């Protein structure tokens, strides 16, 4: 059967509601689309351990974009392709110094495993996203730094929650501080879901990974639909002509999208897809 269109969904704030669940109506229409010859993928900032439950729930067979475009997962072959570069040495030191000076929680992704480190947290927030993270918490920061510097890290994420939320250090200020890394052409910094500050290689982007998939599957860019909400979706929202932003999206994403639909706590995705294709 000739593929009709290929749809890429972001997860958090888009396909997932505030309880990290996919609405039954959205699952049903996605299954129907697959049966009718549509390609379905996700393009997320999450790592494989944070996304695998949704990949399985959606029964995806098409390639999946992970870690803001760092990795492509091929579900049927259970193989991962690295399409991004590791973050530079200085970025690792920067993150550790942030924890040393302010405390907080960070995660990092390697090619094979995902990790978390916190100076004071119970783990509840991060474990909402994954129970498969290896916990480095409790080790001295010097040991963490030594480990990071000798390990190939493809994404570092500051989790802005708990001890990080203080009146004199709002998320906007912390993001601005980390943005200096991007301003100095050291790495790319994106704020996602109003919780995470992600650091990736400068050339890593969801849209670049999607292009790799399109080339492999011989899909025309005009046959691609993308759905997103956060600033790590901005590249693909700007690039593809069939772009859809959620009502809860950042202003930059909504301004750049071709269409804006309802928020992620409704069945708006199902309603949009039914109206568009049926």
Mean pLDDT, residues 94-115? 90
Adjacent-strand bridge partners of 115: 108, 134
Decide if domain 89-200 falls under CATH 3.30.1240.10: yes
What ranges do the domains of the chain cover? Answer: 6-84+204-277, 89-200
Given this model, what pLDDT does residue 272 score? Answer: 98
Q: pLDDT: is 200 or 194 the higher one? A: 200
Given this model, what pLDDT does residue 194 score? Answer: 74
Kindly tell me if the per-residue pLDDT of 123 is higher than 90: no
Quick check: helix, strand or coil at residue 223?
helix
| Pure H helices in the chain | 24-35, 48-57, 89-102, 124-129, 141-149, 171-183, 206-217, 234-239, 251-256, 268-277
**DSSP code of residue 187:** -
Contact 42, 9 (CB under 8 A): yes
Kindly tell me if the per-residue pLDDT of 71 is higher than 60: yes
Given this model, what pLDDT does residue 164 score? Answer: 47
Average pLDDT of the chain is: 90
Kindly tell me if the per-residue pLDDT of 196 is higher than 80: yes
Phi, psi for residue 24 in degrees, rounded to 5 = -55, -40
The set of residues, in sequence order, having a beta carbon less than 8 Å from that of 87 and lying 6+ positions away, is: 153, 154, 155, 156, 187, 199, 200, 201
Q: Provide the CATH number for the domain formed by 6-84+204-277 in this structure.
A: 3.40.50.1000
Given this model, what pLDDT does residue 31 score? Answer: 97
Given this model, what pLDDT does residue 112 score? Answer: 83
Beta-strand pair 105-109/39-42: unpaired
Given this model, what pLDDT does residue 1 score? Answer: 46
Percent of the chain with pLDDT over 90: 73
Given this model, what pLDDT does residue 50 score? Answer: 87
Q: Name the pTM for this structure.
A: 0.89
How far, in Å, CA of 99 to CA of 141, rounded?
8
Would you place residue 173 in the very low, low, confident or very high pLDDT band (cuts 50, 70, 90)? confident
Kindly tell me if the per-residue pLDDT of 162 is higher than 80: no
Kindly tell me if the per-residue pLDDT of 163 is higher than 50: no
Percent of the chain with pLDDT over 70: 92
CA-angle at 171, arms to 266 and 173, nearest 5°: 145
Mean pLDDT, residues 245-254? 96
Kindly tell me if the per-residue pLDDT of 138 is higher than 90: no
Q: How far is CA 12 from CA 46, 249, 250, 272, in A?
A: 9, 11, 13, 18
Would you place residue 248 in the very low, low, confident or very high pLDDT band (cuts 50, 70, 90)? very high
Q: Identify the residue whose tokens are 């072959």.
A: 77
């Amino acid at each position: 059967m000739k593929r009709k269109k290929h749809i890429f969904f972001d997860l958090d704030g888009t396909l997932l509601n505030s309880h990290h669940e996919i609405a039954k109506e959205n699952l049903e229409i996605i299954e129907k689309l697959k049966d009718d010859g549509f390609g379905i993928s996700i393009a997320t900032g999450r790592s494989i351990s944070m996304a695998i439950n949704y990949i399985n729930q959606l029964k995806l067979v098409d390639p999946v974009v992970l870690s803001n475009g760092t990795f492509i997962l091929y579900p049927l072959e259970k193989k991962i392709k690295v399409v991004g570069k590791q973050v530079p040495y200085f970025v690792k030191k920067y993150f550790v110094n942030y924890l040393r000076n302010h405390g907080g929680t960070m995660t990092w992704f390697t090619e094979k495993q995902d990790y978390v480190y916190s100076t004071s947290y119970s783990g509840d927030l991060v474990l909402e996203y994954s129970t498969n993270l290896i916990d480095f918490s409790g080790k001295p920061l010097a040991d963490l730094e030594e480990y990071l510097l000798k390990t190939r890290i493809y994404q570092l994420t500051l989790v802005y929650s708990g001890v990080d939320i203080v009146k004199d250090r709002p998320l906007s200020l912390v993001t601005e501080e980390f943005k200096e890394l991007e301003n100095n052409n050291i790495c790319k910094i994106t704020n996602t879901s109003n919780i995470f500050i992600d650091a990736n290689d400068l050339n890593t982007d969801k849209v670049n990974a999607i292009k790799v998939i399109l080339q492999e599957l011989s899909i025309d860019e005009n046959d691609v639909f993308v759905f997103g909400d956060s600033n790590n979706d901005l590249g693909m929202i700007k690039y593809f002509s069939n772009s859809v932003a959620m009502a809860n999206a950042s202003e930059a994403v909504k301004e750049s999208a071709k269409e804006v639909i309802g928020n992620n706590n409704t069945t708006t995705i199902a309603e949009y897809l039914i109206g568009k294709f049926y």
